[in-house]
Amino acid sequence: MSIGHTLLGLLESGPRHGYDLKRAFDEKFGHDRPLHYGQVYSTMSRLLKNGLVEVDGIEPGGGPERKRYAITEAGITDVQQWLATPEKPEPYLQSTLYTKVVLALLTHRNAADILDSQRSEHLRMMRILTDRKRKGDLADQLICDHALFHLEADLRWLELTAARLDKLAQVVAK
Amino acid sequence: MRQWVRDLAMGVRFAFAGGREGWVRVLLTAVGVGLGVALLLLTTAIPNAMSVRDQREAARQDMSYSATRLKKADDTLIVGYVTTTYHDKSVRGRELEPEGSKSPLPPGVSAFPAPGEMVVSPALKKLLDSADGKLLRERLPERVVGTIGESGLIGSAELAFYRGAEGLESKINGGNVDRIERFGTPSPPSDPLDPVLLLLILVVFAVLLTPVAVFIAAAVRFGGERRDRRLAALRLVGSDARMTRRVAAGEAMAGAVVGLVLGAGFFMIGRQIAGSVELFDYSFFPSYLNPSPLLALLVAVAVPAAAVLVTQFALRGVVIEPLGVVRTAKPSRRRLWWRLLLPVGGLAMLYPMIGQGRERGNFNQYLTVGGVMLLLVGVTALLPWIVEAVVSRLGAGPVAWQLAVRRLQLSSGTAARMVNGIAVAVAGAIALQMLFAGVDSQYTQRKSEPVSGSEMAVRVTDGSPIAAAEKKVAATRGVKHVYDISDGYLGDSRTDPQHFAPVSVGTCASLREVAKLPSCRDGDVFALKGDGYAYETADVVKSGKTLWFDDSDDDPTTKTVGWTVPKDITDAQPTEDSARIGRAGLLMTPAALPAGADRLLTTELYVRLDKAVADAREYVRTTATRLNPYEEPNELVSVSRNENYAAIRGGLFVGASCVLMLIGASLLVSQLEQLRERKKLLSSLIAFGTRRSTLSLSVLWQTAIPVGLGLVLAATVGLTLGVVLLKMTDTPVSVDWASVLQMTGAGAAVVLAVTLLSLPPLLRLMRPDGLRTE
Amino acid sequence: MNAPAGSLLSADKLCKTYGPTVALDGAEFSIHPGEVVAVMGPSGSGKSTLLHCLAGIVTPDSGSITYNGREMATMNDAQRSELRRTEFGFVFQFGQLVPELTCVENVALPLRLTGTSRKEAEKTALTWMERLEVDDLRKKRPGEVSGGQGQRVAVARALVTSPRVLFADEPTGALDSLNGERVMELLTDAARSTNAAVVLVTHEARVAAWSDREIVVRDGKSRDMERAV
């Protein structure tokens, strides 16, 4: 998953210090894997370089951790594009999808749209697999079925999440 | 045992826990059971009622039964028989003249009415007070000073009076006026109920009871599918098969027990109604109808027990598994032979009694009820077979027909069961109506009203002037014509005659009324031919032979008079008047009558009524009462009692309709239950474009086919039973097609009504909402 | 919005409420001949109601449905019933076969409703049962066949009138994966071979994967995923 896009998304709600960003990321997405501080620093410099963020102000005391970052217009567009692009259907997508949904909720974008387009992408893949299955031999069918069942599991998760969007929005807003 | 009670109790709880539907089901069952219980109680009360009636009748018996005439004493009473008839109803009347302080009081009377006063039965009091009784009041002008108590009457509708009198002693004749010293006979001659009437009563109860029993048997299976699911659920949580059956039995018992309570209520109501019903001049007091406690107890125990047994029986082919109910295998094809046994057995039980009504012999009650019930129950055994046999042969047809036929083929038993009750009720009602119609016409010969001739004959008191009486009768309102004929008998011996010839004496004008005479002069004698009661006229009336006027009174003081048969006796043919009363023998003009013979004749005034005067008969009776209260005028033509029969037929129709309605209600309940179970299917059929009319029509066919078959069978069995019953009473068989049509029509109407009533829910079920799953 | 060009059946701004429940709230739909469109969405989203409206079983409170150029709202109940008899076919999740009729009689039923003679109808029915590989069940009653077989009989019945639109509401809902697969394969093959459009309501992705395109219904609103992208 893209830490850059995630941090950018977090900045959309307002300028933050690097330390705040790390804390917000850990709280919302880090779970059992907190972000290393260095990762924040290097990511932010890359984003700065690409003009997706700008330094909003520097607290006295120096050091990168004192910089306050703000998202630029280009940055907002970048987040938008990232969110709107469905992930390539493959197993174990949930962490990326989850991040996207939460970010969408945080930035008051339509999270359901993300889920729907992701579903569409999954279905597109499933259709291809189904078609291959229809035309293929037993081995093809078995291989395709395995993929289909995995994709179906993703889709079920998408459905479930869609059904729980309101609840999730409340939790995220806290 | 404890377990048993617990299981049954659980079933009872289930029965009431089914929401509104459960209640309706329990209530319908209860009403059916209640009707059955009430009928059973009434049946068990009838023997008791009859014996109470007999006792009352015996207790007021006022015949002296004594060859020697009593002497006047302190404890004697003179009774005059003044019974009269009013509007075809007999009014029992007695004149009482106590001869001392210890004269016996009739039962139900607390004090002797004084001359000019009378005590009357409540029914008579009501009649006298009403506008209908105006003419009777003219006949009975005495002041009403009290009513006769229940102990002095044999029915609530009995019309009776006792009136005070004086100077009766001179009229004592051992017949209409007599002296007695007590009421009642020490050994009451039991006056058994007319066997034909008893048969009627037995058949009425058998006919009403059987459909109710069939209904109960069907009612305990109400809500079958839902119950099956409930029982399966019970099995799932661990109750064993026998426990489950007991729970099912408990459910059935709930309805039966509520039914017992209702039945007791129905019985009390029925008892009161019975008190106001009069059938063929029989009526009862409600207090007569007390079932013997033992029989009542038997009913109270037997009915719930029967409900439990029927359920167990119904469940015998059913295996209740935790995951649902399995009907054991496919029901094997229905066999005909044992089903035929029932009606054939019924006929066999009735057959030996054919013709017994002729000798007024008694019908064996058990054979009668058993036979009738077997025949009727035979309907329920035959119907499933017929439905199955017919339906399996039905084939191609429009979609509605196909749907209905296929469904019937799959479950013809259910369909037949639903119709059984209706078929039995209709069969019974048809038979009963035939019997009623036949017996009624026998009890009151329904001749058409004569176009000419006399309708009444008023007896002139012996020794009183005939002309004066004739004048009074002629002056009565509604009388068109009066003539008098005096009758007597000529015997072949002066002292101990063995052979007789009847003789009728009258003026030429009078004789022309009774015979077609070529010519007539005073002094002529004729021989009246025809098929009347001529006795031995042909043997004794020989020219030149002396015959003797018979002294009917055996009074030694009267002397008999002889008469020599003349040579020239002209033959004459009877008129309608003579034919009607069977007059035959000799006709004499007054001049031909030997002197002194007139004392040995009795005179009657023959009255022709003005048909335009509605109550002409009553006016004549009143006049006759005034002339001679102790002798009633004779009716020469029996009056048709169409009105009465119509009332009975109406009542029977109402009763049968009530039973049909009850069955209809249960039909509707199970119909709706069935429809609800098919909700999904109906909606999907509608979805792929089935016309609503097609589905409605198929529902109609589904009931109409078995009901049509049921009604045909019912009509057949009903007519057969009716014919057998009529033959038993020795009544000419005639089929009352109108009532056959009426009853089958009522049965068909019930089906139509059930179908119509189930249409709105059906249409609602066919709405696409039925497809919604979420 | 007018019916999209070339579409066989389309709906616009459909609204339908059942009492307090809003089933449809401005849903849209369109399908081309020969197209298989899956209608997806969670339970209670209104997808079945959408199918019922499209099939003319339920009249929407507002909005328009056009079939083959005809506005459905202008038809009366009899005309809509006739449409369902002649132009549409239906497969439901369960409870659709008449238990008293044999399988072949069930399949022949829609033809009989349109007035075809019994013999003719059963002959046609049998050819469809062969295509769905259930012709050996013709004498059996629905109660005697398995769920998958029953569903294939139902598909045969839905196709027996050669409908132009086949409505399938959770056709595999009561079946296991293998039987569901088979039913879907036979259903889509048969539909494609007769160029029938299929409106397939399902909540299962693997069933929807047999479609050409899907529409998502959520809270009574529809999203056509193809046009949205």
Who among B403, B691, B773 is closest to C81 (CB)?
A: B691
User: Are the Cβ atoms of B403 and C101 closer than 8 angstroms?
Assistant: yes
Q: Is C44 among the domain residues? A: yes
Q: What is the count of structural domains for chain C?
A: 1
User: Which residues have a Cβ under 8 Å from the Cβ of B705 and sit 6 or more positions away?
Assistant: B387, B390, B391, B394, B404, B405, B408, B415
Q: Is C222 among the domain residues? A: yes
Chain A to chain C Cβ contacts (< 8 Å): 50
Q: Is A99 helix (H, G, I), strand (E, B) or coil?
A: helix
pLDDT tens for each residue of B613-668: 888 888 888 888 888 888 888 877 655 444 455 556 666 777 777 777 777 877 77
Cβ–Cβ < 8 Å for B663, B421: yes
Closest-approach residue (CA) in chain C for A134? C185
Q: Is C10 helix (H, G, I), strand (E, B) or coil?
A: strand
Q: Is C149 among the domain residues? A: no
Q: Is C25 helix (H, G, I), strand (E, B) or coil?
A: strand
Backbone angles phi, psi at C171, to 5 degrees: -65, -20
Cβ–Cβ < 8 Å for B436, B725: no
Distance, CA of B330 to CA of B317 (rounded, Å): 10
Distance, CA of B244 to CA of B238 (rounded, Å): 10
The more confident residue out of B224 and C68 is C68
Q: Which residues of B touch C113 (CB under 8 A)?
A: 399, 688-691, 694
Who among A123, A148, A151 is closest to C214 (CB)?
A: A123
Return the CATH number at C53: 3.40.50.300
Pairing of strands B159-164, B602-609: unpaired
Neighbour tally for B424: CB within 10 Å: 32
Q: Are residues A90 and A79 part of one domain?
A: no
In this prediction, residue C9 has a pLDDT band, given cuts at 50, 70 and 90, of very high
Q: Is C197 helix (H, G, I), strand (E, B) or coil?
A: strand
Q: Are residues A94 and A76 part of one domain?
A: no
Determine the pLDDT at residue B138. 84
Q: Is the pLDDT of residue B47 over 80?
A: no
- CA dist C133 → A138, B582, C120, C186 (Å): 20, 92, 20, 9
Q: Which residues of C touch A134 (CB under 8 A)?
A: 185
In this prediction, residue B30 has a pLDDT band, given cuts at 50, 70 and 90, of confident
Cβ–Cβ < 8 Å for A104, A110: yes
Q: Is C13 among the domain residues? A: yes
The alpha carbon of B189 is separated from its chain's Cα centroid by a whole number of angstroms, namely 24
Cβ–Cβ < 8 Å for B453, B576: yes
User: Are the Cβ atoms of A130 and C225 closer than 8 angstroms?
Assistant: no
- The neighbours of chain A, by the rule of 3 or more Cβ pairs under 8 Å, are C
User: Are the Cβ atoms of A162 and C42 closer than 8 angstroms?
Assistant: yes
Who among B396, B686, B689 is closest to C118 (CB)?
A: B396
Who among B409, B681, B768 is closest to C98 (CB)?
A: B681
Q: How far is B410 from chain C (nearest CA, A)?
A: 6
- The neighbours of chain B, by the rule of 3 or more Cβ pairs under 8 Å, are C
Mean pLDDT of B443-471: 71
Distance, CA of C91 to CA of C175 (rounded, Å): 13
Determine the pLDDT at residue C200. 94
Q: Which residues of C touch B406 (CB under 8 A)?
A: 98, 100-101, 105
User: Are the Cβ atoms of B681 and C95 closer than 8 angstroms?
Assistant: yes
Who among C48, C84, C110 is closest to B774 (CB)?
A: C48
Q: Are residues A146 and A121 part of one domain?
A: yes
Q: How far is B763 from chain C (nearest CA, A)?
A: 13
Determine the pLDDT at residue C228. 44
Are 3 or more Cβ–Cβ pairs between C and B shorter than 8 Å? yes
Determine which of A115, A119, A135, A160 to mutate to test the interface with C (most C C-beta atoms within 10 Å): A119
The more confident residue out of B714 and B767 is B714
The more confident residue out of C176 and B24 is C176
Chain B to chain C Cβ contacts (< 8 Å): 83
Q: Are residues A116 and A162 part of one domain?
A: yes
The alpha carbon of B32 is separated from its chain's Cα centroid by a whole number of angstroms, namely 23
User: Are the Cβ atoms of B688 and C94 closer than 8 angstroms?
Assistant: no
Q: What is the count of structural domains for chain A?
A: 2
Return the CATH number at A22: 1.10.10.10
User: Which residues have a Cβ under 8 Å from the Cβ of C120 and sit 6 or more positions away?
Assistant: C111
**Residue-averaged pLDDT of chain C:** 86
Tokens of B185: 């006979």
Last residue of some domain: A41, A61, A83? A83
Distance, CA of B15 to CA of C152 (rounded, Å): 41
Neighbour tally for B491: CB within 10 Å: 22
Q: Which residues of A touch C225 (CB under 8 A)?
A: 116-117, 119-120, 123
Closest-approach residue (CA) in chain B for C19? B769
pLDDT tens for each residue of C157-179: 999 989 999 999 988 888 888 88
In this prediction, residue C123 has a pLDDT band, given cuts at 50, 70 and 90, of very high
Q: How far is C96 from chain B (nearest CA, A)?
A: 5
In this prediction, residue A41 has a pLDDT band, given cuts at 50, 70 and 90, of confident
**Residue-averaged pLDDT of chain B:** 78
Q: Is the alpha carbon torsion for B306, B309, B315, B320 positive or negative?
A: positive
Q: Are residues A78 and A115 part of one domain?
A: no
pLDDT tens for each residue of B101-116: 888 888 888 888 988 8
Q: What residues in chain C have their Cβ under 8 A from chain A's Cβ atoms?
A: 38, 40, 42, 185, 203-206, 208-212, 214, 216, 218, 223, 225-226, 228-229
Distance, CA of B528 to CA of B520 (rounded, Å): 14
Cβ–Cβ < 8 Å for B536, B584: no
In this prediction, residue B190 has a pLDDT band, given cuts at 50, 70 and 90, of low
Mean pLDDT of A103-121: 85
The alpha carbon of B160 is separated from its chain's Cα centroid by a whole number of angstroms, namely 23
Q: Is the alpha carbon torsion for C49, C53, C55, C57 positive or negative?
A: positive
Determine the pLDDT at residue B642. 46
Q: Are residues A68 and A37 part of one domain?
A: yes
User: Are the Cβ atoms of C206 and A126 closer than 8 angstroms?
Assistant: yes
Q: Which residues of C touch A162 (CB under 8 A)?
A: 42, 218
Who among B681, B689, B771 is closest to C113 (CB)?
A: B689
Q: Name the packing angle between helices B241-276 and B293-314 (round to 10°).
A: 140
A127 touches chain C (CB under 8 A): yes
Last residue of some domain: A65, A83, A101? A83
Determine the pLDDT at residue B446. 43
Output b/e per residue, B214-230; b: 16+ Cβ within 10 A.
bbbbbbbbbbbebbbeb
Tokens of C6: 């070339």
Who among C42, C212, C225 is closest to A159 (CB)?
A: C42
Cβ–Cβ < 8 Å for B601, B586: no
Which of B357-366, B524-533, C65-74 holds the top average pLDDT? Answer: C65-74
Structural domain boundaries enclosing C79: 1-87+197-229
The alpha carbon of B511 is separated from its chain's Cα centroid by a whole number of angstroms, namely 42
The more confident residue out of B201 and B135 is B135
Cβ–Cβ < 8 Å for B10, B237: no
Q: Are residues A90 and A77 part of one domain?
A: no
Closest-approach residue (CA) in chain A for C217? A116
A112 touches chain C (CB under 8 A): yes
Q: How far is B682 from chain C (nearest CA, A)?
A: 8
Tokens of B354: 């054919």
Are 3 or more Cβ–Cβ pairs between A and C shorter than 8 Å? yes
Structural domain boundaries enclosing A8: 1-83
User: Are the Cβ atoms of C101 and B769 closer than 8 angstroms?
Assistant: no
pLDDT tens for each residue of B675-723: 777 777 888 888 878 888 888 888 888 888 888 888 898 888 888 888 8
User: Are the Cβ atoms of B687 and C92 closer than 8 angstroms?
Assistant: yes
Max Cα-Cα span within chain A: 69
User: Which residues have a Cβ under 8 Å from the Cβ of A66 and sit 6 or more positions away?
Assistant: A17, A58, A59, A60
Which C residues 22-81 touch B at CB under 8 Å?
Answer: 43-44, 48-49, 52, 55, 57-58, 78, 81
Who among C205, C211, C228 is closest to A122 (CB)?
A: C205
Q: How far is B678 from chain C (nearest CA, A)?
A: 8
- CA dist C105 → B396, B605, B691 (Å): 12, 85, 18
Q: What are the extents of the domains in chain B? A: 1-58+190-329, 62-180, 336-447+642-774, 456-635
**Angle B456-B624-B617 from CA coordinates, rounded to 5°:** 45
User: Which residues have a Cβ under 8 Å from the Cβ of B691 and sit 6 or more positions away?
Assistant: C78, C81, C113
The more confident residue out of C76 and B461 is C76
C112 touches chain B (CB under 8 A): yes
Q: Are residues A45 and A76 part of one domain?
A: yes
Q: Which residues of B touch C84 (CB under 8 A)?
A: 687-689
Q: Is C113 among the domain residues? A: no
Nearest to residue C203, comparing CAs of C186, C187, C178, C180? C180
Distance, CA of B727 to CA of B722 (rounded, Å): 8
Q: Which residues of A touch C211 (CB under 8 A)?
A: 127
Who among B688, B773, B774 is closest to C110 (CB)?
A: B688
Residue B115 DSSP label: B
Q: Which residues of A touch C187 (CB under 8 A)?
A: none
Q: Is B90 helix (H, G, I), strand (E, B) or coil?
A: strand
User: Which residues have a Cβ under 8 Å from the Cβ of B643 and sit 6 or more positions away?
Assistant: none
Who among C204, C205, C218 is closest to A151 (CB)?
A: C205
User: Are the Cβ atoms of C96 and B686 closer than 8 angstroms?
Assistant: no
pLDDT tens for each residue of B213-245: 777 677 666 556 666 777 777 776 667 777 777
Which of A159-163, B44-48, C66-70 holds the top average pLDDT? Answer: C66-70
Neighbour tally for B66: CB within 10 Å: 12
Q: How far is C7 from chain B (nearest CA, A)?
A: 22
Last residue of some domain: A83, A103, A128? A83
User: Are the Cβ atoms of C98 and B410 closer than 8 angstroms?
Assistant: no
Length of chain C measured in residues: 229
Distance, CA of C144 to CA of B83 (rounded, Å): 80
Nearest to residue B315, comparing CAs of B222, B233, B221? B221
Tokens of B316: 């015998």
Q: How far is A15 from chain C (nearest CA, A)?
A: 32
Neighbour tally for B358: CB within 10 Å: 11
Q: Which residues of C touch A138 (CB under 8 A)?
A: none
Q: How far is C217 from chain A (nearest CA, A)?
A: 10
Q: Is the pLDDT of residue B360 over 60?
A: no
